[in-house]
Amino acid sequence: MKIRPFLHKEFKMRVDHIGTQQAPVVVIDNFLLDADQMVEHAATQSRFTQATALYPGIQAPIPAPYPLFAHFFTRAMIPEVFGLGDRDVIDSRCTFSIVTLPPDKVGVRQRIPHTDFLDPNHIVLLHYLYDAPRGGTAFYRHRATGYEVMSVDQRERYETLLKDELQRSPPTEYIGGDTPIFEQIASYDATFNRAILYRSTSLHAASVPPGFAYSPDPRKGRLTANTTFFYGDAVSFFGPPRRPA
């Protein structure tokens, strides 16, 4: 992957606090210097396969330089913004992703907001490698519970109520704005080379606009770089550093 470890010269960052729970969302415009090279790598060298999880499309691994650069640029900021103290990244996963499946080809749960993990130490960096009108990302509140950021303790109540709601009124399209079950609390448009960071526990969903083409071509489709950083206690994970003999 031919990207250089530099931020774009017009790099801009802000921190939003969304919803009643004031969950932080970091918005970075003009993230990396060589974002166009990532698109070319995805188009010419990546091997996409159907996603094995709930993602409605195809995915391919991203070579190591990219997540290393992304970690380097965000290492000091993420723990401060998300209240992670002295934790550091002890694991990560990073993929190119393209939405290719229309709503009638996926399950009901793939059409509504979701969380990626229920561990608040997982931070997602979503890097847009395309422009609107191919949609961005929105965040939601579950109306019946008021949940915007999920926890393990909340899951049982949420799942019980949601199961009943979906049986009574199953959505036929990807969510886009307010519905009887969910209220949109924030929305971020896709702009090429914009990145947003948020906790994996926030209820969120891709914004898929009407007339979306679902192209699998990285140069034409909804190409994103999805990185999840897991922050933990490095000493307990790796053990204390060895002293020189």
Task: Give the per-residue pLDDT at 131.
Answer: 82
More confident residue, 146 or 5: 146
Domain ranges of the chain: 12-233
Q: Please check whether the domain covering 12-233 is classified as CATH 2.60.120.
A: yes
Q: Which pairs with CB-CB distance under 8 Å and at least 24 residues apart come from 58-64?
A: 58/97, 58/98, 58/100, 58/216, 59/95, 59/96, 59/97, 59/98, 59/226, 60/95, 60/96, 61/94, 61/95, 61/96, 62/1, 62/38, 62/94, 62/95, 62/96, 62/225, 62/227, 63/1
Q: What is the pTM of this model?
A: 0.93
3-state secondary structure of 72: helix
**Token pair for residue 227?**
């990185």
Task: Assess whether pLDDT exceeds 70 at residue 99.
Answer: yes
Q: Please list the residues that pair with 27 across neighbouring strands.
A: 14, 196
Average pLDDT over residues 79-91: 93
* pLDDT-derived band at 204, boundaries 50, 70, 90: very high
Other Cβ atoms closer than 10 A to 130: 22
What is the token pair recorded at 164? Answer: 């009943």
Going by C-alpha positions, the residue among 89, 67, 91 that lies closest to residue 195 is 67
- The model's pLDDT over 148-181, given as tens digits with 9 standing for 90+, comes to 999 999 999 999 999 999 999 999 999 999 999 9
Alpha carbon separation from 64 to 58, 194, 243 (Å, rounded): 19, 20, 29
CB-based contacts of 202: which residues, under 8 Å, 6+ apart?
Answer: 23, 25, 115, 139, 148, 149, 150
